[in-house]
């Protein structure tokens, strides 16, 4: 029997954490998935105690402060989770000589490009959430050279709160929803992100020379938030679930505390070339999730 390989996954109760728990890991891998209550990544003594207790072979940091609008006022909390936490994990993993895989966001960009962003493009976050995640990226990359920062975007899943579930909830009690149609991005299934993280983590554990650095991973294709809502409702209607008409509006018609990028499409060429990770169309992720949610509803 191979020795067990222990992998720490922070944010175990989040969308990506829950899909990492469900992913097909080799038998000898033991995942440790603490919730925020069990491990606050910004708590230096909690991080040190956990590393002293378990000989981890890798860490995936999927825990984060993800409330984009609330972050504008809860600045200290956002930076604690998204910048201080990654810095502590970078230090702990560097000392242990193990890889760290950090999940980051398209909101590090300001959206002024007229094409999908590549990893070498300049960053310039528009809000506190993006700025805190960028600080986390920099802490990881400077703190542990054996690290990957995986930027993803517009995460959807059957778990927790996300835009897809918000749309289905709204459609349950109104015939029409108003949704911005001038912000362009790449909806991405949390299960697809988990699969990409699994591939990267296993390769980094097996090969000290595995490629490190910055990578973009999203599902294939792009749309607007209104386009995503329309796809969700088309699939939901097909399954006999809630559906609503979508009125496409402008960003100015839907004021929010945090500004979002008008274009946050990401190019996935680098991860395809270095890690052989291929992206499924975003519409496939939508139909998987809507189907799973409707089965859940039927079995209630």
Ligand X SMILES: NC(=O)C1=CN([C@@H]2O[C@H](COP(=O)(O)OP(=O)(O)OC[C@H]3O[C@@H](n4cnc5c(N)ncnc54)[C@H](OP(=O)(O)O)[C@@H]3O)[C@@H](O)[C@H]2O)C=CC1
Where does this chain bind ligand TDO (CB under 6 A)?
66, 68, 105-107, 153-155, 163, 166, 177-180, 183, 225, 254, 256, 260
For residue 206, the minimal CB distance to ligand X (Å) is 24
Pattern 232-251, ligand X, x by CB under 6 A? --------------------
Binding status of residue 103 toward ligand X by CB under 6 A: yes
List the beta bridge partners of residue 149. 102, 214
Cβ of residue 13: shortest distance to ligand X, in angstroms?
Answer: 4
Query: In this complex, which beta carbon is closest to ligand X, that of residue 170 or of residue 237?
Result: 170
256 binds, options ligand TDO, ligand X, none, Cβ within 5 to 8 A by partner type:
ligand TDO
Q: Which two tokens stand for residue 199?
A: 């591939």
**In the complex with ligand TDO, which residue's Cβ is closer, 57 or 262?**
262
Q: Which is nearer to ligand TDO, 44 or 166 (CB)?
A: 166
Residue 147 within binding range of ligand X, rule CB under 6 A:
no
Q: Which is nearer to ligand X, 41 or 204 (CB)?
A: 41
Q: Which residue is nearest to ligand X (CB)?
A: 14
Q: Return the one option of ligand TDO, ligand X, none that residue 42 interacts with (CB less than 5 to 8 A, by type).
A: ligand X
Q: How far is the CB of 292 from ligand X (least distance, A)?
A: 16
Which residues from 12-31 bind ligand X, rule CB under 6 A?
13-17
Query: Which residues form the catalytic set?
Result: 129
- What are the CA-CA distances from residue 144 to residues 54, 97, 102, 136, 205 (Å)? 19, 9, 11, 12, 14
CB 183 within 8 A of CB 145: no
CB of 133 to ligand X, least distance (A): 6
Task: Please return the burial class of 95, using the count of CB atoms within 10 Å of its CB with bins 0-12, 13-18 and 19+.
Answer: exposed
Q: Closest distance between ligand X and the C-beta of residue 67, in Å?
A: 8
Check residue 116 for interaction with ligand X (CB under 6 A): no
Our CB check for ligand X shows the closer of 15 and 236 to be 15
Applying CB under 6 A, the residues found at the interface with ligand X are 10-11, 13-17, 36, 39-42, 62-66, 81, 85, 103, 105, 133, 152-155, 160
């Amino acid at each position: 029997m191979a020795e067990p390989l222990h992998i720490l996954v922070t944010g175990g109760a989040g969308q990506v954490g829950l899909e990492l728990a469900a992913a097909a890991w080799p038998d000898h891998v033991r995942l440790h998935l603490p919730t925020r209550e069990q491990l606050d990544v910004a708590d230096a003594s909690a991080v040190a105690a956990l590393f002293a207790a378990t000989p981890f072979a890798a860490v995936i940091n999927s825990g984060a402060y993800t409330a984009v609008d609330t972050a504008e006022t809860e600045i200290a909390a956002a930076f604690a989770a998204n910048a201080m936490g990654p810095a502590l994990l970078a230090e702990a993993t560097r000392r242990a000589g193990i890889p760290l895989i950090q999940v980051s966001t398209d909101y590090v960009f300001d959206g002024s490009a007229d094409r999908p962003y590549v990893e070498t493009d300049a960053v310039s976050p528009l809000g506190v959430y993006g700025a805190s995640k960028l600080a986390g990226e920099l802490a990881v990359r400077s703190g542990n050279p054996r690290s990957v920062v995986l930027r993803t975007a517009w995460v959807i899943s059957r778990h927790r709160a996300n835009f897809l579930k918000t749309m289905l909830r709204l459609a349950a009690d109104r015939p029409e929803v108003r949704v911005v149609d001038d912000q362009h991005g790449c909806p991405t299934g949390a299960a697809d992100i988990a699969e990409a993280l699994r591939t990267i983590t296993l390769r980094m554990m097996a090969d000290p020379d595995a490629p490190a650095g910055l990578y973009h991973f999203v599902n294939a294709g792009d749309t607007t938030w209104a386009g995503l809502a329309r796809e969700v409702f088309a699939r939901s209607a097909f399954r006999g679930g809630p559906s609503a008409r979508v009125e496409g509006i402008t960003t100015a018609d839907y004021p929010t505390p945090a500004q979002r990028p008008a274009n946050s499409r990401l190019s996935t060429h680098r991860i395809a070339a270095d890690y052989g990770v291929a992206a499924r169309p975003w519409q496939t992720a939508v139909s998987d999730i809507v189907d799973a949610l409707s089965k859940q509803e039927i079995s209630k």
